Amino acid sequence: MAARRPLIVGNWKMNGLAASLAEATALADRARAQAPAAELGLCPPATLVAAMAAALKGTAVGVGGQDCHAKAAGAHTGDIAAEMLKDAGATYVITGHSERRADHGESSETVRAKAAAAHRAGLVAIVCVGETLAERDAGETLKIVTAQIRGSLPDGATAANTVVAYEPVWAIGTGRTPTTAQVAEVHAEIRRDLLARFDDGAGFRILYGGSVKPDNAAELMAVPDVDGALVGGASLKAADFWPIVQAKGLQ
């Protein structure tokens, strides 16, 4: 099998106004100048998806949504369908982020339906999994992550339409990061789970997310089975995001 192409995706969360598109185009300019080997993506709030897709058209930076509804249309005020994201120019959509699981009570069954919707619309689903601090302290990390992998990935998932992102909940936005040994242990378990279930399990990309910053990116990206990163706050500025791209994309 061909080597997995690294993927570095920025999740802007609930940040960004029209003026913020300048950071996206600045990232595209850097990518044009240095041509990283990694695939690059940004997931802005829904209000900016279409505008960002237009601004980045023809560049090396793709655009994604941060969530989608499981259905293609209907009476679901405030929601956005995967087909709408696709129509706006998106390539990816994040599903199952811990902030959605915690703040909106999303179960793995819900995440699975959203990932299937992404596939239906022709989007790449970035499916997030990860344990809380209490679950890690109880020694349940691998059990929790395996259960989320099994429950959150639809049967139609393939290496082409699905990316897995391991984000320890206790590391997101806290400045804390697991040790490289802890990251390696979880990514190895995720790989085993994918190999056991999918014929192309070796081809799935597994990203690490959780307080990824320019000063720790190289160490994290060097861990076996870490195929890139899902980056939060450090993706809001091209100057902060680019060193993370370099850590994996220029190896």
Rounded-to-integer distance, Cα 62 and Cα 40, Å: 6
Rounded-to-integer distance, Cα 242 and Cα 162, Å: 24
Contact of 81 with 71, CB cutoff 8 Å: yes
Among 39, 99, 106, 167, which one carries the catalytic annotation? 167
Catalytic residue status for 97: yes
- The neighbouring-strand residues paired with 7 are 39, 228
Contact of 119 with 156, CB cutoff 8 Å: yes
Q: How many CB atoms lie within 10 A of CB 156?
A: 12
Rounded-to-integer distance, Cα 167 and Cα 52, Å: 25
Contact of 31 with 66, CB cutoff 8 Å: no
**Quick one: tokens of 149?**
């992998």
The residue type found at 153 is: L
Catalytic residue status for 189: no
Looking at residue 66, what DSSP letter applies?
S
Rounded-to-integer distance, Cα 25 and Cα 40, Å: 12
- The neighbouring-strand residues paired with 69 are 81
Q: How far is C-alpha 163 from the geometric centre of its chain's CA atoms?
A: 7
Among 97, 99, 131, 187, which one carries the catalytic annotation? 97
Active site residues: 97, 167
